């Protein structure tokens, strides 16, 4: 039988969230449904001598964008099958939420993984905070379209069965304020918080569900050549240096078997799923942490997603940190920007145009941003960012 775990933590108060996090609902009505999931892959976190790497940042349910970028990068053929040869494709996490179609992306990633391995390439689907949130039942950002994509022909019956289980549990474990009135208004509100497809989504994201099991077989942090890749970053209070330990801790916590000394790895704001300091903190104050992370993992660069700071792929800290989660301004079209690394040379693909990414100096960073701005028609958010960069660089150059 299948088990439904960790239901919607965000829609209730703290006491109810704690109850729901501990609660396991047995869905008898789902006993006849079989969800197949791929067997756990043996984890490998360090890869050397890779000639070509393609990196996509956060996708958040934008399947059309994902498919277009795959084709543009030459990673798939016209049938969507792997065509990337020995390329290592890194997706930095946060496939889910906000958008309506993360299942299409997940299914395609699952399909490409074995195809890439057979061709000598690799698909690295890293674990981000939204993968963890979906497994833990924090569905604040799950869209109506996303729930609807899970709703099958038995959705009404499954939801009714789950409602009855919820009522039975609440009566057996009444909240401190007393039982609510289980009337039509209560049911209507409950239905709003548990749309059709909710039950199927929770089953699919359980540790033994089709997506939960797949996600929990992956890594949160990997090293390819001399670069460390992760979703968010690592802050100064997160000092674990062993990649295998970090990844085992993340996988164990997702499966409900946390590693004692890293028990908070899924929630730690300085941990690899959540840290934003590499994108948001001033370079002067964050530089020491960047140095420490580079030294800890014996690498020369860090590539992250997670934080929408800039309107294109952007270098920071003299090019030692690369931000890939692109912020699209209101009214602007998405540039479908992604990163390629060929024999150590970084290239941003922005609106289909290839621009060498060099952020080693202030002047080279400004030159890079101006080239990206040109791809945008010399207007818009990147052009503003480039102009600001030029002004700062000019002021620094002329300062006594």
Same domain, 109 and 199: no
Residue 352's closest CA among 82, 73, 91, 83? 73
Same domain, 130 and 240: yes
Same domain, 177 and 259: no
Per-residue pLDDT of the chain (400 residues; tens, 9 = 90+): 233 433 343 333 444 444 444 443 334 334 333 344 444 445 689 999 999 999 999 999 999 999 999 999 999 999 999 999 999 999 999 999 999 999 999 999 999 999 999 999 999 999 999 999 999 999 999 999 999 999 999 999 999 999 999 999 999 999 999 999 999 999 999 999 999 999 999 999 999 999 999 999 999 999 999 999 999 999 999 999 999 999 999 999 999 999 999 999 999 999 999 999 999 999 999 999 999 999 999 999 999 999 999 999 999 999 999 999 999 999 999 999 999 999 999 999 999 999 999 999 999 999 999 999 999 999 999 999 999 999 999 998 876 7
Same domain, 111 and 68: yes
Domain that holds residue 31: 3-39+137-212
Residue 330 sits in a domain whose CATH number is 3.60.21.10
Number of domains in the chain: 2
Considering the entire predicted model, what is its pTM?
0.90
Which of 168, 190, 212 terminates a domain? The answer is: 212
Same domain, 287 and 260: yes
Same domain, 224 and 288: yes
Number of helices and strands in the chain (H, E): 14, 14
Rounded to whole angstroms, how far apart are CA atoms 212 and 132?
Answer: 9
> CA–CA distance from 277 to each of 127, 259, 265, 266, 284 (Å)?
18, 25, 17, 17, 12
Rounded to whole angstroms, how far apart are CA atoms 197 and 144?
Answer: 9
């Amino acid at each position: 039988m299948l088990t439904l775990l960790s239901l919607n933590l965000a829609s209730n108060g703290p006491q109810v969230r704690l109850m729901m996090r501990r609660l396991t609902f047995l869905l008898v009505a789902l006993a006849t449904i079989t969800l197949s999931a791929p067997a756990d892959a043996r984890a490998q976190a360090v890869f050397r001598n890779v000639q070509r790497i393609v990196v996509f940042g956060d996708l958040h349910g934008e399947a059309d964008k994902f498919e277009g970028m795959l084709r543009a990068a030459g990673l798939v053929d016209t049938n969507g099958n792997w065509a990337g040869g020995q390329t290592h494709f890194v997706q930095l996490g946060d496939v889910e939420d906000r958008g309506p179609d993360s299942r299409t992306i997940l299914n395609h990633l699952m399909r490409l993984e074995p195809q890439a391995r057979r061709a000598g390439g690799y698909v690295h689907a890293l674990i981000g905070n939204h993968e963890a949130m979906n497994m833990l039942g924090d569905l604040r950002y799950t869209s109506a379209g996303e729930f609807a994509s899970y709703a099958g022909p038995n959705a009404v019956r499954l939801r009714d069965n789950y409602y009855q289980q919820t009522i039975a549990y609440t009566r057996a474990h009444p909240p401190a304020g007393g039982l609510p009135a289980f009337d039509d208004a209560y049911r209507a509100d409950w239905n709003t918080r548990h749309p059709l497809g909710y039950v199927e989504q929770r089953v699919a994201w359980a540790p033994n569900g089709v997506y939960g099991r797949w996600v929990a077989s992956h890594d949160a942090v990997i090293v390819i050549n001399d670069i460390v890749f992760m979703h968010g970053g690592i802050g100064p209070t997160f000092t674990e240096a062993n990649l295998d330990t970090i990844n085992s801790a993340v996988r164990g916590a997702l499966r409900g078997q946390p590693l004692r000394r890293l028990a908070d790895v899924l929630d730690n704001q300085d941990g690899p799923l959540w840290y934003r300091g590499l994108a948001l903190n001033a370079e002067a104050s964050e530089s020491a942490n960047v140095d420490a992370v580079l030294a800890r993992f014996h690498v020369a660069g860090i590539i992250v997603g997670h934080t929408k700071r800039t309107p294109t792929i952007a270098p920071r800290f003299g090019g030692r940190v690369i931000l890939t989660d692109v912020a699209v301004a209101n009214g602007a079209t998405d540039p479908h920007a992604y990163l390629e690394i060929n024999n150590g040379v970084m290239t941003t693909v922005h609106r289909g145009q290839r621009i060498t990414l060099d952020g080693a100096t202030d002047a080279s960073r400004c030159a890079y941003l101006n080239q990206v701005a040109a791809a945008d028609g010399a207007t818009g958010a990147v052009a503003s960012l480039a102009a600001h960069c030029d002004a700062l660089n000019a002021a620094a150059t002329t300062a006594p």
